[in-house]
Structure 1
Amino acid sequence: MRRITLRTGIRWKITLAIAAVGALTALALSLVVHSAARVSMLESARDQELERVQYIARTPDAGRKPIWGAKINDPDLPAELREKARSGRRGTYIHESPKRVPEVWAAVPLGNGQVLSMHHPFRESANMVRDLDRALVVGSLAVVIGGSAMGVLIGGQISRRLREAAAAAQRVAHGDPEVRVRDAVGGVVRDETDDLARAVDAMADALQQRLEAERRVTADIAHELRTPVTGLLTAAELLPPGRPTELVRDRAQAMRALVEDVLEVARLDGASERAELQDVALGEFVSRRVAALMPDASVRVVADEIVSTDPRRLERILGNLLANAMRYGRAPIQVDVEGRVVRVRDHGPGFPEALLREGPSRFRTGSTDRAGVGHGLGLTIAEGQARVLGARLTFRNVAARGGAENEGAAAGAVAVLWLPEHAPTATGSFPIIQLPG
């Protein structure tokens, strides 16, 4: 079963947390204040009612005609309060009804078994309690809204810093060694985001140093191999004709091509390569180069367009894609040009899953169904040259037609080169285009 995940920003998580805490705090305080206020008002009403009935009991006509609505032996007097008064004690009682306002009773004994009592509804105090409840609700809403606004501000600040840190880290991951996450985060207040930014910068510096060391070692080894390989080729030319001589020459040529490819990969990894731009008609250029590199391949120009690019690097990319299609795929090989997009397709078993998932990797030729000869540098070089041109090189497979027995099978591999609309500058960066308006 697939897990259902909810994606939301840290701003709204902080806002929700503050709003929830504020709401719970306001609710708890409102309940406490409501209960305390009601109890205090009821106790005050009890005392007032008891003082009134005691004052009436002290008047001369209390036993015959009591004043202020007091009654003698009131039949509606609650039984508990009546028994208490007949036993010679004074007391009060709260009579609550679900549909009526509570009533406050007070009773005192008069002697001869008579009980003087009076009662009043808890109406004014109940209205005060309702007003207090309204004020508590308004105050609670104000606390929740204010806390939510504060959460949006605080969370927005943290979210902005994290987004800027993520964007800077992405630029570092795409090969920009000059970017520093700490500078991108900025801000006056120092918090855990700055610690994260410094850690990412330190990790990026360490990785950059390690990659630079590996690139230097690879370039030095390949450069040192050029001289003995050239001597080996020269010596092979002096061997007498025959099958052994052909094998030596073939392996020496393969070694020389491998050394040149490794040197080219090292130069591309150094991020010092710059494109020498020219304006070319892409459709015409691709047609002429494909005819020279692979006459059996078919070219279809859907829409031609003038592009500013480096012809030598573009030819290198095209040649590597065609060589890869011929080596690992099957005929027919098709090349389509549509505007600034070039597609190279074969009808073989398709690209391996590792290449589709992770991209080209040097010295890895794929799974056994696409393995054979080669060192896995062709697509790596093509991707590096595309990066110098500011282009994007993608890979995908064409699904095979058929029923369930062909599910997951491929009917060919497609490499797509997306040339940029604006060519890179002499420094390797891209110009900032001002849009009209």
Structure 2
Amino acid sequence: MMLRAVQRFLALTLFSSLTNRIIVLNLAGLAVLVVGILYLNQWRAGLIDARVQSLRVQGEIIAAAIAASATVDSDVITINPDRLLDFQSGTPISPLSFFDPALEFPINPERVAPLLRNLVTPTRTRARIYDKQGLLILDSANIYARGDVLRQPSPARRDGFFLTDWFGRLMTWVPGDDFPLYQEHAPDEGMRYPEVAAALSGNVADIVRLDAQRQLVVSVAVPVQRVRATVGVLLLSTQPGEIDAIVTTERWGILRIALIAGAVTVILSLLLAGTIAGPMRRLSEAAERVQGSMNRRTEIPDFTDRTDEVGHLSRALRAMTDALYNRIEAIERFAADVAHELKNPLTSLRSAVETLPLAKNDKDRARLAEIIQHDVRRLDRLISDISNASRLDAELARESADPVDIGTLCETMVSIQGDVAAKREVKVVYEAPEGRFAPVVLGHDSRLAQVVSNLIDNAVSFSPPGGTVRVVVTSGEDNVVIAVSDEGPGIKGDIGRIFQRFYTDRPEGESFGDHSGLGLSISRQIIDAHGGTIKAANRTDRSGALFTVTLDRAPEERAGLRLRK
């Protein structure tokens, strides 16, 4: 539930438009890169390691200098009589065991102070010297030269840019720093520093801590040794925030570059959005105008000169809109044609019905009744054909195309139409295809059968008694051709109008209204839906009409697979 609420909030705010999406997503990628640089940057750890190594080298040099010049070197050996009573007879005794530990090579503060001041002050490092018991002997923070004014140290003021301070405080809370807390101990508690205790055992030790302000403090303890004896410890530590200031400066430099890159990204995103969102907005507004004003043509913005997706979308919308308007106009023409065709039989029917009461004899009444029945049959045929034509597109779009064997289909339709044609003394002949290419197409078998039936029925109606209607199927590598020819008088009228809706040019002897004039129009509609062509022409070898249907042949793998099922 919470995730859905967050998604809805983002959809209504940050992702409310395509421009916002482009800007946010581009900035998100930049933000991830910057955060990765700031958070995963190894430069900070490398800086700490470099500072530790620097303090080690500096501490070893200073410790060696202190051991060489700032320790007491006396020829007087002081014997501790109390140590003599601690040993029993027979116990091995070292000569140095009688010496007073407090007097073995002590560090002279008067000698070490000027040395420490000269070596440590230029490096801005704090140096503390502890004796063997952890007692603070000297602290560089409290060493003053002659003439210095003693004053209480005050915390350093930060006069930097407020964003720098804010950014520095923010980065202190970045997870990943697992350093102990630095705590200042009393002068006599030097042993509480782990690095001091480790250095008294003769080892160089370092440690990194965070002070109360979460600033890095690096400490290195180096033993002060003379003649292999540890006489004290030199503890060097950086000023709090020294490393943080360098890291913050570098991070702020990265952030400044990121801000500039972000500004450039926003500008480029706006330019990109202008080339995408602007045209799409105009296209959507035009589509809304089309929806709101279907009674007049609305021009869709033309971006077809562009080769990208916007150009393809504009081209598709313009084609779709033209097809929609053409479909609307076709429906309007169809409605007008239907109204016109229905008006004629209705007018005749109305006239016959009105005249029927005025008929004076049975012959006239029978004649009027025959006219009424003829008009009713005509209306029924018209309504049936109009209903079939109106739902034809929907059925073709809804049904899936299957492999259809045109040879088998034509042979079946010839056998069915042959019985009807025999009553009119017309013979229907089917010629099977020859060759290695199977006459299989992808389509709707019932609708293709309707086309073949209409063509055969039309040819039979124009054929004279004793005539022959031929149905020939030819299968090539790419297409299948159905040719239906008759031996009638041929097409006398305009061949270009023969496929128009409600156009009829019937042979002599047939009463008006026996055909609706929709058969060939429906046939062309079916063939167009199958991606084929249908043509009409007069025969060149003799009198008669020739109708040719051309369909694309189905690929062998698809046709074979479906036929095997």
Alignment TM-score, normalising by the size of structure 2:
0.37
Alignment TM-score, normalising by the size of structure 1:
0.47
Larger Rg: 2
